Chains A and B, each alone.
Chain A
Amino acid sequence: MSYVPDNLRYAPSHEWLLLDADGIITVGITDHAQEALGDLVFIELPDVGGHYVAEKEIAVVESVKAAADVYAPISGIVTEVNQAAADAPETVNQDAYATWLFKLKPDNVADINNMLDATAYRGLADVA
């Protein structure tokens, strides 16, 4: 069973979200996602300044096994990307919650309230 921290929000497509005090949302993929993918070897990050729409592709994570899309959990503009994660994709396998992928300035910060909490995410059939 994968690890699901209580203090984060989650998208059903297996991204985690953390709302900072400044209204910026940090996004990564969940422990369940990294475990399902296996050893990550490549990460394609979004363009800083780009506007991305909720539930559309925003990044790609590739393991030895397969490529998987990362979806924008909510709509917004990318303010920062974690180049260190792209340079060492295995750090996502080591700690998926310490290794964020990108930060978003959301169009509507209240959208985060529509995301799953830890209990609801644990309840997803494929996570449990």
Chain B
Amino acid sequence: MLRKTVLNTAHRALGARMVDFGGWDMPVNYGSQIEEHHAVRNNCGMFDVSHMCPVDLAGPDCRPFLSRLVANDVAKLTVSGKALYSAMLNEAGGVIDDLIIYFLTDTRFRIVINAGTADKDLAWMHAKAAEWKMDVSIAQRRTGENSLAIIAVQGPNARARVWDILPQAKAAIADLKPFFAAEVGQYFIASTGYTGEDGYEIMLPTDEAEALWNKLKDAGVAPCGLGARDTLRLEAGMNLYGQDMDETVSPLDAGLAWTVAMKDEREFVGKPALTATGQQKAFLGLILLDKGVLRGHQQVITKHGIGEITSGSFSPTLQQSIALARLPLGVQVGDEVEVDIRGKLLKARVTKPVFARNGKAVI
């Protein structure tokens, strides 16, 4: 039995093609994935991401708990509303999940974790809080009483559309810098996203989600499925958990070194393993020079050895196939490599792992 978000009937009414996404019945597109992609890059689109799981932390030990729990350092969170992207590691230094932590007060933080990993993440958090004897409560907000839906409104015109629909929130959210959040009554509105565009992620009480979705649709915001979400995040060079990294992969080998605060004295789960192992692979982008489509798990042949594509697709912005790949150390941006696609070796160029953001190609 597939799980459904509160917007399931709204998606079906819009003629969405639904797929099983990690046990959730979710829209992959509402017609053309490519048109939805362009709507976000050039105008404004919205995604139902209510399958993702908000988790509220409360109590005096929020900071010391998070300081040990995740690889990035919550000491960077000094201003209320500031958000921090981080990996949560196991003892071996593998990635249990990637998540966003929002700092509200020293006794109140909100975390958003991935849909498919939510149950194991919560079990891990509870176990660690007990092991470390932390005075912190951990409450998921995806189901049950007080559950929240999440609608991501993304694109260059996203902010203006949201201000039109939620005028009472405008004062609080109009000047949010990227990666901040504001609480407006029951609404939690963050300037975060997964597309490489400006916009908001709006968490709100489940029973108000369909009304907001319909108002946004009536205002011309394009409903977009998880298909466009995937090509947008790939162009933006953002990792997808389960493809670009998982529990067997070090964040240092997944292009996430910038999120791992190794240098100070702080201890966190996985740090000894990362210190011992260091970076073993380069995480870079590929652009296919021949015709075809790069996909996950294809082998990449380089003069330094064999690598592997972790995510690949067709880039609607570049009109070429692009990929993220884990490659042998020594491979450099600009190198030409070969990719094995169904037994044929096709030429690709190594790039930085970011292709398009803010409406434009950056390659």
Contact = CB atoms under 8 A, between A and B. Distances in A.
Interface of A: 35-36, 38-39, 41-42, 44, 60, 62-65, 67, 93
B33 A64 contact: yes
Contacts of B227: 38, 64-65
Contacts of B32: 38-39, 93
Q: Which 5 A-B pairs have the closest CB atoms?
A: A41-B314, A62-B293, A39-B34, A42-B293, A64-B314
Contacts of B342: 44, 60
Contacts, number: 41
Contacts of A62: 292-293, 314
Most chain A Cβ neighbours within 10 Å, of B293, B295, B342? B293
Nearest to A35: B17
A42 B32 CA distance: 16
Contacts of B29: 38
Contacts of A63: 33
A64 B313 contact: yes
A41 B293 contact: yes
B291 interface: yes
A65 B28 contact: yes
A64 B231 CA distance: 8
Contacts of B45: none
A62 B37 CA distance: 17
A93 B33 CA distance: 12
Main secondary structure of the interface of B (DSSP, over half): mixed
A38 B293 CA distance: 15
A67 B295 contact: yes
19 contacts: A35-B17, A36-B17, A38-B28, A38-B32, A39-B33, A41-B293, A41-B321, A42-B293, A42-B314, A44-B342, A62-B292, A63-B33, A64-B34, A64-B313, A64-B314, A65-B33, A65-B313, A67-B295, A93-B32
Contacts of B33: 38-39, 63-65
Interface in B25-72: 28-29, 32-34, 37
B316 interface: yes
A36 B227 CA distance: 13
A123 B290 CA distance: 40
Contacts of A64: 33-34, 37, 227, 231, 313-314, 316
Contacts of A42: 291-293, 314, 321
Nearest to B34: A39
A75 B26 CA distance: 39
Contacts of B314: 41-42, 62, 64
A41 B37 CA distance: 14
B315 to A, nearest CB: 9
Contacts of A65: 28, 33, 227, 313
B292 A38 contact: no
Given A41-B293, A64-B37, A65-B33, 10 more contacts: A38-B32, A38-B33, A38-B227, A39-B33, A41-B321, A44-B342, A62-B314, A64-B231, A65-B28, A65-B313
